[in-house]
Structure 1
C-alpha cells in the first residue's frame, strides 16, 4: 500500500522537472497527506490548474507504480497545466525560478457572454485532423464548463461516450441524441455545434454490434482544441423517427410509490442491432378499452431501484425498441415498466408495474492480434467489473461454423482481462480467436457476445545450428553432419569469405538468397544421406585448392521460404587487430582498428594487477564486435563505461572451425581511467536583489585528490575553455578566491560550501577543471542550458 512518503516522492520528482509554476513544497506535502480530499474546499490556483496531473500521479502510485516510474512515464497531455495560473507561486528551491525560464504560451481571449459552447483554439496546438485525443480533450473541456454552469444533463455524459462519438464519427445532432442518456439528450444540438466549431464531422464508422467502448485507464488529458480543416466527409441523415415513440420524460409520469404488484413477469429479448442493441418483450395482457405505455429504463452496473432512477431509453406503445447508446459499463440492466389507463394521459398517472427485465454484457473492445516469433498475442480492454474473459483458439479447417467447443478454449487458468499470450499454437495454420467477457449478474456468471478475429500463424523454419565439420588428415576433403529439421530440406553453401552477417535472424524469400551469393555456383552438390533418424550427413566434400579457410552455411528451404543457419568456418590461425586506437567520450568508449583477416569477431577483455594474459582473457568477454558490425560502425563500442580507476584492455580476434574457437594474437592497450562529474548551481536565500548560487557536484566514483575548478563567464557565447572569458570568484567562509578546491569528492551528490555571487551578471557560464595534470583524468558534464545562461535583468536563478 502506498504511503504518504511514496506519494510525496512522485509529486516532488514531477515538480522538479517542470519549467512552469507548480505547487510549492508545503502544498505538495499537504496533497500527499490528504490524497482523497486534497482538492476539497479552496485550493491555490497554481494547484488547481495541475489537478488532472496530480490526480494521475496519486492514482498511479496507489496502484503500485513506483514513484520514479510514475513521474517519468507521465503522458504528454499531462505535462502542461489546463491553463496558466492567475498568480504564480514561488518555485520550490530545487526548481529554477520562473524568471530564468521560457515564458508560457499566452492565455486565450475570454469568451463572449452567452457563447459558452464556443471553443477557442490555442496558438501552437497541433491541427492534425487525425488527432482524436485532442478532439476528445476539447469535448471534455466543454462538458466541464456545462457542469460548472449547472446545465441539466451535462454530468450524465461520460468520458467514454465522448470518446466513442469521436471514434465512430457520430457528430450530427440526430446521431448524438441517440447516444446520450436521459436528460443529456437535450444537449445533442449544443454538442453537434461544438463538433462543427472544431472542424469535425463526417460519415459514421460502423461500430461492432453492440456499440460499446472499453474504459480508458488514464487521467483526463489536458483540454486541447483542434483547428483546421474538416477531417471527415459530410454527415449522413439521422435515424428514422419511431411512430410509436411518445415524447415523454420521467417528469411526465407519476412518482413511483413502491406499491407491491402481483404480476407474473413477461419475457424480454436482447439482441444485437446494427447500431446498438434491440429490445423486445412480451405484450402486456391488455383489457378492452385500455392503453398500455411501455417505459423502458436502464442502469449501468446495477438495475435501477425505481423507474425514475434509471436512464430513460424510450417511452413507447410498441413491444420493442433500439438502444443506440454506447455501452459504458461491464453490464447494462434494462427494465420495462408498464403504465395502463383508458388513454395516454390517464396511463401516465397510474403507478408503474415492473413487467420485464434483462441485461446486456459488454464485450471486449479494441481487440488486436499480433504474432511474435510464433506466439499469438491478443490485446483488448474491458470495463471494471468484468470477472474474466474466455478465449478460444478455433482452427479454420474443413469449413462449417466453428462453435464455442471447450476443446478449443485456451488460457483457462487466467483472467485474461487485458489479453492473452498463446505460446503453444501450432504454426503454419489459420485460426479464429474468440473472446467472451464474463460478468457476474445476480449471483451467476453471464457471457457477453463474441468478439473475434482470425490470424494466419507463419510457418516455422528451423535453422541448422549444429553443422559439424570433420577434416581429413590430408585436408583434401571433409565430411559434414547436422540435425535434420522437422520441416523442409537443407542446402549447404560454401564460400571463401564470410557471407553477409545478420541474414540468419529471420525467414526470407528464396529469391532473396541469390542476391546474397547463395547461388547454384556456391551450393555443394554432394548427395545428402541419413546418418540416423535425426541426423543428416554429406560425405567426401572436396577442399577447394588455394583456400585458406572455407565458410559453410546450411540453409533450410520450404515452400519458397528459407532460413539461414549457423555458418561454420575452417580457418588458419588469425593475425592480430591492426592499429588499435581508444576514443573516449563522457559516457562512451570505443576502439577503432583494422579488421584482422579471417576473423568472425573481436573480443575485448579487461584485466588488472599481475594476472597473466591467459587469465585475463578467459571467460566471457567485456565486449564483442562482429565483422558485419565493424563494417557498419567502424569500431568496437563498449556496452558500459570502462573502470573509472583504469585497466588493461585485451583485443582478441576469434574465428570458428569444426565447432572449435580459433583465437589470434592478443593486442593490449592501457586505459588510465576517467572520473566523471556532473555539476549544477542552485539558488540560495540571499538579501533582496542578490543572486547567490551554490555549487553541487555529482560523482560516479570517489575522487580522493580532486583538481581545482574555475567558473568562466562570457557575455556573448558559451565559454569553450578555461581561458575563453573572465573567471568569476568563489565565496567560502567570507573569503573570495578565483577557484574552488575540495579535499575529496565522494560518490553521489556533493553539496559544497562554495558559492558564487551572480548579481548583475549577464551571458553564459561554464565550469572547467583548472588542473587536470594527474594520472586519473576528470570529465565534467554540463547541466541544462537554462542553468548556464543568465538573461538580461535577471531576477532569480
Structure 2
C-alpha cells in the first residue's frame, strides 16, 4: 500500500533475521529491528554494534526491494549470495553443553558476555505489543507450513498484520478473514493472540469493508519478559476431503483437488455479472443460477485473484485462483481483508447428476465481478480551520475522489460533482481542505478510483462526519453614532465569518472586566449579567457584504452614559468583544470670542455642561471643521478648573498664524481612557501683521534722527505711518498730540508711506528724518492709513527712548538701535 508506515520494512527484517540466525550467523538484537525499520534511510548512523554495521549492505538492499514493491518473502529468498553471507559477519559460537544449547535465532539475539571491567550496555528498546504478536503469528505460520498443514500457506502476511492492526482476536471473526481450508486454523491463531495481553479496545475504524471485534479484557497484561509465541508441534496433515452432499446453505467442504483438472474446453457461454455488496464482515456476492435440467446438480466454485489497475488480476483456469467456497447456492460471502487495489471474483460452474459427477466434469466460467479496495486507515482531523484527511491505498489506485457533503438536512448526502473538492490532485495519501465553512457539519466521503482495462471503476466509499469548528471572532471595531435627535443611536461592526452570530448588550455601568480574554460557555457570561433584559433586541441588518448594523436604537432617558458590548456566539460558545462607552453628546461652547494681544491670543467662551476639558484645533480656513478636528493632537487645551481661574484659553507659546486661520473648539469628556467629543464651535481668526520701529541719530552727536522699521512677517503694501509728539505724556492715539512733519528728499511730509513689501526680519532704514532739538516730551508712531483687510500691530521701543527731556545733556536717541521689547499699540 502507498503508506508512510514501516510494516513492510519490519516484515522483511523479521524474515531476514530468522533466515540468518538459522544459518548460524550473528545478527543484531531482535529489539533493534523495530527501530531500524522506522529509519530506513539513516538507521546505520545510530548503530554502534559491529555486527549491525557489517549487515548494512544487506539491510539497505532489502529496504530498497521493499520500496520497489517486492514482497518481503521474495526479497529475502532472492538475496544475492554476497549479501546473504557478507564478509565480516561472525558466526554464533557453539554452546559447550547440550543442555545449554538454544536455537540459533535465540542465540543470535543474546549479546556477548561483557568483561567484568567493561561498561554495561544501555538497555535496548522493547518492541511494542503489536510487533511481538505479528512476529509470533509469522513464526506460527512458518511452523504450520513446515508441518504440511492444509491451508497454512494461503494465509497472507497482510491478513495476519490486519488481524493485529484491528485487534480482531476472536475465533469466529478470525475464521471469516481466512481463505478456504485456512478457516480451520482460526482456533490456533486465536490461541496465539491469547498468549499476549489484549487490554486495549479494538480500533474504532475497521479495515476496508470490515468490522472490528472487541477483545477479551480479562487476559493478563504481558511483561517485558513475555516470550514470542513458540511454534506449536506440527500435527499430521489431514486426509483429503471426499466430495460430500451439500450442508445447510448449500456449502460444500471441497478443495481444488476434489475437482478435475481444467483442460480449456471450448464454450459459447458468456460470463454473467457477479453482484457485489458490502456488509459488516466484508462483501456479499450473488449471481444468476445455472439453467439446470431436472435431475442435474450444479456446483458453483467461487475463486478470486488480487491485482492492480496497471496489472489487472486474471484467472485463466479455476485452479489458478484462490478458492473461497464451493456451494450449490447462488450466494456467498467473502470476509477476507483486501490485499490489492482490485480483487477479481469468478464463479465456475460444474454440472452433473450428483456432486461427485459434477466435480468430475469440466467447468464453465459462469460469472465475473470486481471489488475495488476503498481507502484504508481513514482519519479526518482539524487544524486551525483546515480539515486534513489521511489514508492509504494499494498500488494501482489511480486517484481518490473527495467529497465534502453538507449535513444541513436540505438534501440527502450525495456524491455529486458540486460537492467534490481537491479535484486538481490525485489525493492518494489524503487531502487538505482549506475552504470548509466554519461552524457547519459535513460528511467527508472518499472513493478510490482505478483504471481497469480502460474503464474507470470506483470503490465503495469510506466516509466520516466532521463538525468544522468555529474560531470565534471578537468584535473589536464596534462604532457608535448618535442620532440627530440625541435620543437614538446606531451601531456598526465588521461581520464575522459564517457560523457566527452577534448579540449586542447595553449596560448603564461598566460590565465585569476580563471576560474578553478567551472563548467561554454561554452560561458563564449570563452569570456575569449578560441577560436577556440587557440585550438590544433591534434587528441586525447588512450594511454591505462585510459590515453589519443596527439603526434607531433607543437611548434610555435617564442614562448619561451607556456601555455597549458585542458578543460573538456559535454552538453555545461565546466570545466577548470590546466594550464601547458612549455619552450623550456634549453641547458646544457658548459665545466664543478671540481676544488679540501683541504676544498672544485669548479665546473666551462659556463652559459647556458635562465637559472635562475644551480642546482647540487650528487649521486652514479652506478646511471643514471635521477635517481640522481630525488632527491627532490639539493646538491648545484647557480644563474646567483652569477656565474657572483664568477665564480664557490662551495660545502660547505658539501664536495663531499671522495670515489668519480657523479655530475649532471641541468639548471633551473621558471614560476608560477614551476621549468622547462634543459639538464643534468654529471661529475665524483674520490674522495680525506685526511691525517694530525705533529711531537712530543720523550721525554721532546729531539731533536729527532717522526712522527704522522691521517686520515680523512679510507685509504687502505697508500702512501709512504718522509721528505724534505730546510734551506731557505718551500719546495714546494718533490725535493725542501734535503731528510731526518728517523730512524726506522730496521735502517735508505729514506721514510716511513705504512702497513694495516689507520682508520678515529685514531692518529697513527709512528716508524720513526729523530734528528733535525743538521737541520736548514724548514721541510715538501710529498707523494713520485707511481700512485694511488685516490689522497691523506697531511695537514700541522702550519708553526711555521715546522721551525727550527739557534740558538735553546728550542725545538719547543717538544710542544703539532699540530692540522691540516694549508693549505695542493698535493702528
TM-score (norm 2): 0.47
TM-score (norm 1): 0.48
- Does 1 or 2 have the higher relative contact order (CA < 8 Å, sep 6+)? 1
Max Rg structure: 2
